[in-house]
Structure 1
Amino acid sequence: MVSSSVLAVSAASLLFSLPVSAGLYAKNSAVLQVTAKTYDNLISKSNHTSIVEFYAPWCAHCQNLKPAYEKAAKNLAGLAKVAAVDCDDAANQPLCGRMGVKGFPTLKIVRPSSKSGRPVVEDYQGARAAKAIVDAVVEKIPNHVKKVDDKGLDSWLSTGNETAKAILFTEKGTTSALLRALAIEYLGSVSFAQIRNKEKNAVETFGITKFPTLVVLPGGDKEGIVYEGEMKKDAMVAFVGEAAGASPNPDPAPTQPKKAAKAKDAPKSKKEPKKDSKDGECPMGHNTKSRKDSATMKMESSSLKLEDINESAEKVDSPPKAKVEDGPPTLQMLDKAEALQKECLAPKSHICILALLPTKENKDDLLPNEATQALTSLAEVQQKHARRKAIFPFYSVSAENELGQKVRETLKLKSANEIDIIAVNSKRSWYRRFPGPSFTRNDVEAWVDAIRMNDGPRETLPDSLIVDIETPAAEPVKAAEPSEAAEPVKAAEPPEAEPVAEPVKAAEPSEAEPPEPEPVAESCKAAESSEEEEPQCRPPVTPPKEEAPHDEL
């Protein structure tokens, strides 16, 4: 009795010590708190790149990540958004299900695409350190800054002369995250450019004596205004807006009343979602029952029965069933010569559509509008036909692909700084060019349909581009013949025939699989106390054996 009363008092003290929000990050944290209601507005429709952590407050690995994540948020302030979603909150669980969250913490980088409200979402697989997170996010910040040299200066200035422009004169060849973020703030109202100090004519024209120097050209015949302050984003945003007579783009976008009216109040109770997770993840729903009790200030220890946890898990299986919203369609990239050769230029390869990408001065530079439109049209046409499984493969070929460069030269296609689309059939030894000049979806689809219907002119594909990739495979066979070690291999053949029956028995031990995750729960606890690289916990198996088929699903 004494021990039970002591436990009750301890539990009460823990309950009252928990913050009201019961979240991992405080309100004054640099990490942006996002919910299912605000995710669309703050992240999906944002002009800025974001990294989002899907977490549970009880997860030890989430708690270990917190200091590094908050440090990354401070370093990225003004450049990108660092956000977090509490998947332990029942109102957020459908969102976590749609985003494919299977364990905690899960980090995803979300960057805007050409289609508003349909961002590109990528899993962050890097180290859980502030610097690694910052570097990964900075790399994904869109680049709307034009690199201008002496030859192209007049052309750039004359384009949209009435539009305000901003130029950063710098000694660096790469475009900084600060300048890219600044260009995003005024995307559509102020054009941004970067000029290096080695462009002597441009430097002399504007009378630049130190680097970096930011100059704003208000437009028309108005003289340029030089920025004299510190290279800090807030101050630079204010200066550009005042000098150019423009306002920064609103971010986040204003909420739409209709959508807000549809959103229902989230239930206060916390449910335990049950999902399979990969090795080393904190399971979704672990400890959610205790969180529910603490939030409602109830101290009945009997409420943590195994039956209650199982019932809670069954009720919340619905979030994973939610349909994942498709992002913009994309083409598979062939960035190596071997991949292009294997898929499309082998003697028995059938029809392939190849989009030969143009070269870029900097890997962070965006593709030209013409190339972006071509890729989008191709991807949409492929997606349309792929649903019926009635289309040949479409690929984009990197400008660095050596075989792709050879294709350009041999077939005398467009220059390397322009996109070009061709269809090749190595088995039939023909190719066909996309005539252009526009890359609208209708034009691309009409061209693809003509190929499908075997219509239109074709040209002979040179034999020099068709390489037999099967011939090199014969060499290793010869190397195995003289090997005297082949004799013991023969001796090993009889026992190899016996284990063939073992996989048949593997169907029976399938019921024995549920006990295997039990030590995983222990490894989860061990991982929480040890410093592993990207540590995560797998969910402990609480259901009885008869629920094993459910786990396999």
Structure 2
Amino acid sequence: MVYTGALAAAGTALLLASPATAAGLYPKSSAVLQVDAKNYDRLIAKSNYTSIVEFYAPWCGHCKNLQPAYENAAKKLAGLAKVAAVNCDEDANKQFCGSMGVQGFPTLKIVKPGKKFGKPIVEDYQGAREAKPIIEAVSAKIANHVSKVTDKDLDAFMAENVDNHKAILFTEKGSTSSLLKAIAIDFLGGIKVAQIRSKEARAVEMFGIEKFPTIILLPAGNGAAATTYYGELKKDDIVKFLSSVHPPNQDPAPARGKASKEKKAEKKETKAEKKAAKKAEEEFEEASSSHKESEASESAESETEEASKSTESPSPEVKQEKPAVLTPPIPVITSETELADACLTPKSGTCVLAFTSAKGGDVSVQSVESLAEVAFKYQNSKHAIFPFYAVSEEINSTTELKTALGLTNDVDVVAINAKRGWMRKYSGDAYTVEAIEMWIDSIRMGEGEKEVLPGILIGKSPEQVAQTTTIQVEETEPKETVSVKDEL
């Protein structure tokens, strides 16, 4: 059995042993751009590209849960938008995170260029913490500098841009892809990017377009011959093709002749601004401290308790030490009826079931103890949590029930909700307190994939389930893959 006092003390020691500058979640090799207080203005605020920025702390469980999806989004949006992250646990970034209104982790903000250079529009991202909705939200905010041209306004477009290089995409689609928007941003001010639909017969005939999509490049000047692009519809290849007449813009873009004024403005910081920044830092540190306490609520109590034990009291009275508090074990279900009543009625909410066996050895013990630790932690923090149960392997129909749920290991932990008809298996390799807690948190937040709970289980005892030879489980629809690169 694990003692909560010892566990909290270990957590406190780990926090105290951590360096002042905590290691971030994203390595240098990550597709996620590492941003800090010093380079945010240059890399994000003054960029022509739309960005999404995650403000996080390395110790935050929800930040760790988000990491794989955020990495995936960064890879899919590469070359189209920026996916960045700021480690708010670093001392150098705390004031900056406070000034950005960060009060909890992770906080996601979409930053898109504003009308005034260096003054972007910042919006909170409120969508699901998954790759697909993040990609869709960012793609929708990419600035559109692509002109849509029809037969009716073709002559006017050509006349207005006679002195400009022009790149025209002929396509069957009416919408403008993220890829074309990104290319227009790359060459903003150097090449005018346009889009013409296949139904514009006059334009198609004028430029001799035979298939769609097709990109042509028209150098500046009257009578310049068009060059057709025959390569793959990939950004790097298209940019290389267009670079023959004009190089792509640097990112971040130059300050458009206002560098001297901006430098003066950056250097000029009034006392009032410094005071406001200091206040923002204090508010952020207070919010950060509160958030960190919720992640490890017992650490501070343990540290205080240990300090009081090690400090000699001036009073001659000898205080009796408090007995160590044992973590209460989770309830054990020992009969079919008990299991059915607890978790398998049509009105049963979420239950977490731990199926263990003697073959599981130490892993069986660890899984149950970790669940007990998590349950006890929620109890101490006065936060409601769904019930956890250990299912005795001595129940006659346990094997049949595990088969119905698709559980095949010596140790299996699964969450089920009979009322809503879903189940979610724990798929981790380790049964540590931290790993189990992250899994429980993801269920509470509605994150992660769920499977359909076999309807045959609901409202029936495991004995009745055992008598059923065939159980049909609805097939979940395959996840839609997200691709935003080749949409021309």
User: In structure 2, what is the equivalent of residue 210 of structure 1?
Assistant: 211
Which range moves more in the overlay, 202-211 or 48-57?
202-211
Paired residues of 1:169 and 1:194 also in contact (CA < 8 A): yes
Q: Distance in 2 between matches of 1:151 and 1:6?
A: 74
CA deviation after TM superposition for structure 1 residue 7, in Å: 11
User: In structure 1, what is the equivalent of residue 228 of structure 2?
Assistant: 226
CA deviation after TM superposition for structure 1 residue 248, in Å: 2.1
Q: TM-score, normalised by structure 1?
A: 0.48
Instruction: In structure 1, give the amino acid aligned to 2:124.
Output: D
Structure 1 residues 214-363: aligned runs within 5 Å: 214-220=215-221, 221-242=223-244, 244-251=245-252, 273-275=284-286, 283-286=290-293
| Alignment partner of 1:529 is 2:448 | no
Which sections of structure 2, spanning at least 5 residues, go unmatched? 270-280, 309-378, 387-433, 448-488
Q: Distance in 1 between matches of 2:444 and 2:79?
A: 29
Structure 1 residues 351-430: aligned runs within 5 Å: none
Aligned residue pairs total 306
Paired residues of 2:166 and 2:192 also in contact (CA < 8 A): yes
CA deviation after TM superposition for structure 1 residue 532, in Å: 3.7
User: In structure 1, what is the equivalent of residue 49 of structure 2?
Assistant: 48
Q: Distance in 1 between matches of 2:118 and 2:33?
A: 19
Change (3 A) 1:10 1:159: closer
Paired residues of 2:56 and 2:87 also in contact (CA < 8 A): yes
Q: What SS does structure 2 have at the residue aligned with 1:519?
A: coil
Q: Deviations over 1:235-261 (max 9, x none)?
A: 21121121x234324326589988999
User: In structure 2, what is the equivalent of residue 167 of structure 1?
Assistant: 168
CA deviation after TM superposition for structure 1 residue 200, in Å: 1.2
Q: What SS does structure 1 have at the residue aligned with 2:152?
A: helix
User: In structure 1, what is the equivalent of residue 129 of structure 2?
Assistant: 128
User: In structure 2, what is the equivalent of residue 186 of structure 1?
Assistant: 187
Change (3 A) 1:527 1:8: closer
Paired residues of 1:58 and 1:287 also in contact (CA < 8 A): no
Q: Distance in 1 between matches of 2:254 and 2:27?
A: 24
Q: Distance in 2 between matches of 1:8 and 1:286?
A: 14
Q: Distance in 1 between matches of 2:97 and 2:229?
A: 44
Q: What SS does structure 2 have at the residue aligned with 1:70?
A: helix
Change (3 A) 1:91 1:21: same
Q: What SS does structure 2 have at the residue aligned with 1:204?
A: helix
Instruction: In structure 1, give the amino acid aligned to 2:227.
Output: I
Q: Distance in 2 between matches of 1:177 and 1:222?
A: 29
User: In structure 2, what is the equivalent of residue 28 of structure 1?
Assistant: 29
Q: What SS does structure 2 have at the residue aligned with 1:154?
A: helix
CA deviation after TM superposition for structure 1 residue 30, in Å: 0.5
User: In structure 2, what is the equivalent of residue 504 of structure 1?
Assistant: none
CA deviation after TM superposition for structure 1 residue 174, in Å: 0.2
Q: Deviations over 1:53-86 (max 9, x none)?
A: 1111001000000000000000000000000111
Paired residues of 2:69 and 2:129 also in contact (CA < 8 A): yes
Q: What SS does structure 2 have at the residue aligned with 1:216?
A: strand
Paired residues of 1:271 and 1:285 also in contact (CA < 8 A): no
CA deviation after TM superposition for structure 1 residue 12, in Å: 9.0
Which sections of structure 1, spanning at least 5 residues, go unmatched? 264-269, 291-299, 307-515, 537-553
Residue 519 of structure 1: which of 373, 382, 385 is its match? 382
Q: Distance in 2 between matches of 1:24 and 1:253?
A: 31
Q: What SS does structure 1 have at the residue aligned with 2:63?
A: helix
User: In structure 2, what is the equivalent of residue 97 of structure 1?
Assistant: 98
Change (3 A) 1:527 1:287: closer
What percentage of residue pairs aligned between the two structures are identical? 50
Q: What SS does structure 1 have at the residue aligned with 2:66?
A: helix
Q: What SS does structure 1 have at the residue aligned with 2:243?
A: helix
Change (3 A) 1:73 1:117: same
Q: What SS does structure 1 have at the residue aligned with 2:176?
A: coil
Q: Distance in 2 between matches of 1:121 and 1:102?
A: 16
Q: Deviations over 1:456-498 (max 9, x none)?
A: xxxxxxxxxxxxxxxxxxxxxxxxxxxxxxxxxxxxxxxxxxx
Q: Deviations over 1:279-324 (max 9, x none)?
A: xxx954449999xxxxxxxxx9779979xxxxxxxxxxxxxxxxxx
Q: Distance in 1 between matches of 2:226 and 2:217?
A: 5
User: In structure 1, what is the equivalent of residue 112 of structure 2?
Assistant: 111
Paired residues of 1:31 and 1:82 also in contact (CA < 8 A): yes
Q: Distance in 2 between matches of 1:54 and 1:101?
A: 7
Change (3 A) 1:283 1:535: farther
- Aligned alpha-carbon RMSD (Å): 4.3
Q: Distance in 2 between matches of 1:146 and 1:288?
A: 50
CA deviation after TM superposition for structure 1 residue 172, in Å: 0.5
Change (3 A) 1:77 1:303: farther
Q: Distance in 1 between matches of 2:380 and 2:78?
A: 41
Instruction: In structure 1, give the amino acid aligned to 2:179.
Output: L
Change (3 A) 1:117 1:9: closer
Paired residues of 1:42 and 1:251 also in contact (CA < 8 A): yes
Q: Distance in 1 between matches of 2:263 and 2:305?
A: 40
Instruction: In structure 1, give the amino acid aligned to 2:112.
Output: R
